[in-house]
C-alpha cells in the first residue's frame, strides 16, 4: 500500500462550512459594514433555530458560569462577544463536517467527547495561567485530533493499516501512524487548518500537541499537550488511542501547575463536559444526534 499524501487527503475534504456556513458568511459580511452592531449579528444567528438553541444552551451552561440566565441571542452575543460566537459556530461546523466518518475504527461520540473535553481543559488551563484570549484554546483543543478524522474519511485503507499495527504491536497510535504513513495526525491537521486559514498560533498548538517544544508557539502547544494528557488520564472519550501518551516534562514546567490546580481543573472538566456535549452534539430535534 502506498500511503496517500497529506495534501491529497486535505484537498479531498469538502470546503463547505456545512449547515452553518450561510450564518458565518452573513456574520462576516455584516462585520465589513460600518452599520454593523450586535443586533445585526443576533439577527443572523436567529435565522437558524438549531444554532440559536445550541448557543443558548452553551451560554447558560457551567462552561461560562453566568450568574443570570440568558434568554435571548442578543444577550448571549453581548456577553460572549462576536469572536467567541464565530469560534463556536466554526467548531459546530467542523463537527458536522465529519459526521459521515464510519464507526468501524473509532466511535464518533467517544471521539468528540474526548475532543470537547480537551477543548474545555485547554481553556481552563489558559485561564489558570491567565493567558490572553483563553477561549481560543477551546478551539485548539477541540481540533487537536482532527487529522485522524481526515485520515479515516479520506484514506480508509491506510487508516485500517494504522489501527491494525497499533493493535497488534500495542504501540502508541501516533507511532503506528508514523510507521505506516511516514507522518502523523498532527501533520494532517496542520495542513487542514492552514488550508482553512486558521491563525498560525492555533495551527502550531494543534500541529505540535505531542511535541510542544518543537513548536514556535511552545506555550500554546504546551497547553493543548497538558490538556490532552489530563483528559486521557480521566478517560473522557477517546480518539482511538487506548494508552496515555507520555507527558512532556518541559511542557508541564512551562505551565507551572501544582496539585491543587489539577484538582480544580479535573472538577471543572467534569462539571462542564455534559453541558458542552449537549450544546455541540445535541441537535434541536427532540434529542437526536
Torsional sign, CA 277, 61, 77, 119: negative
Average pLDDT of 58-82?
Answer: 86
* pLDDT tens-digit readout, 11-28: 988 766 566 777 878 888
pLDDT in tens, 207-218: 999 999 999 999
Q: Could you say which architecture CATH assigns to the domain 6-281?
A: Orthogonal Bundle (1.10)
Output the nine-digit C-alpha cell for 90.
Answer: 466554526
More confident residue, 201 or 35: 201
Distance of alpha carbon 58 from alpha carbon 61, whole angstroms: 5
The CA distance from 191 to 194, in Å, is: 5
Model pLDDT, residue 17: 57
CA–CA distance, 40 with 47 (Å, rounded to integer): 11
Task: Work out whether the CA dihedral 101, 286, 57, 127 comes out positive or negative.
Answer: negative
- pTM of the entire predicted model: 0.88
pLDDT confidence tier of residue 286, bands split at 50, 70 and 90:
very low
pLDDT in tens, 106-146: 888 899 999 999 999 999 999 999 998 888 899 999 999 99
pLDDT tens for 28-69 read: 888 888 888 878 888 888 888 888 888 888 888 888 888 788
Q: How many residues does the chain have?
A: 289
- Calculate the alpha carbon distances from 39 to 26, 88, 253 in Å: 13, 18, 44
How buried is residue 223: exposed, middle or buried, by Cβ count under 10 Å (0-12/13-18/19+)?
buried
Instruction: Give the cell for residue 269.
Output: 472538566
Is the Cβ–Cβ distance between 141 and 118 less than 8 Å?
Answer: yes
What is the radius of gyration, based on Cα positions, of the chain?
19
Q: pLDDT tens digits, residue range 221-277?
A: 999 999 999 999 999 999 999 888 899 999 999 999 888 888 999 999 999 999 888
The pLDDT value given to residue 289: 42
Amino acid at each position: 500500500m502506498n500511503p496517500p499524501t497529506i495534501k491529497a487527503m486535505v484537498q479531498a475534504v469538502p470546503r463547505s462550512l456545512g449547515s452553518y456556513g450561510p450564518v458565518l458568511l452573513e456574520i462576516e459580511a455584516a462585520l465589513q459594514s460600518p452599520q454593523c452592531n450586535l443586533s445585526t449579528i443576533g439577527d443572523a444567528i436567529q435565522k437558524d433555530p438549531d444554532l440559536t438553541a445550541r448557543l443558548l444552551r452553551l451560554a447558560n451552561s457551567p462552561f461560562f458560569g453566568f450568574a443570570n440566565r440568558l434568554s435571548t441571542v442578543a444577550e448571549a452575543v453581548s456577553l460572549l462577544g462576536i469572536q467567541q460566537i464565530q469560534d463556536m459556530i466554526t467548531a459546530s461546523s467542523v463537527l458536522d463536517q465529519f459526521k459521515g466518518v464510519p464507526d468501524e475504527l473509532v466511535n464518533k461520540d467517544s471521539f468528540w467527547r474526548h475532543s470537547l473535553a480537551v477543548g474545555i481543559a485547554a481553556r481552563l488551563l489558559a485561564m489558570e495561567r491567565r493567558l490572553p484570549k483563553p477561549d481560543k484554546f477551546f478551539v485548539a483543543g477541540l481540533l487537536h485530533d482532527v487529522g485522524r478524522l481526515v485520515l479515516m474519511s479520506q484514506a480508509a485503507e491506510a487508516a485500517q493499516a494504522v489501527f491494525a499495527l497499533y493493535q497488534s504491536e500495542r504501540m502508541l497510535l501516533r507511532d503506528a501512524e508514523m510507521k505506516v504513513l511516514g507522518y502523523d495526525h498532527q501533520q494532517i491537521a496542520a495542513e487542514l487548518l492552514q488550508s482553512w486559514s486558521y491563525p498560525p498560533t492555533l495551527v502550531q498548538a494543534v500541529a505540535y500537541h505531542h511535541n510542544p517544544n518543537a513548536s514556535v508557539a511552545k506555550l500554546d502547544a504546551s497547553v493543548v499537550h497538558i490538556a490532552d494528557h489530563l483528559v486521557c488520564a480521566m478517560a473522557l472519550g477517546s480518539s482511538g488511542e487506548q494508552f496515555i501518551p507520555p507527558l512532556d516534562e518541559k511542557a508541564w514546567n512551562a505551565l507551572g501547575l501544582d496539585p491543587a490546580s489539577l484538582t480544580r481543573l479535573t472538577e471543572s472538566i467534569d462539571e462542564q463536559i455534559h453541558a458542552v456535549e449537549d450544546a455541540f452534539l445535541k441537535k434541536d430535534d427532540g434529542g437526536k444526534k
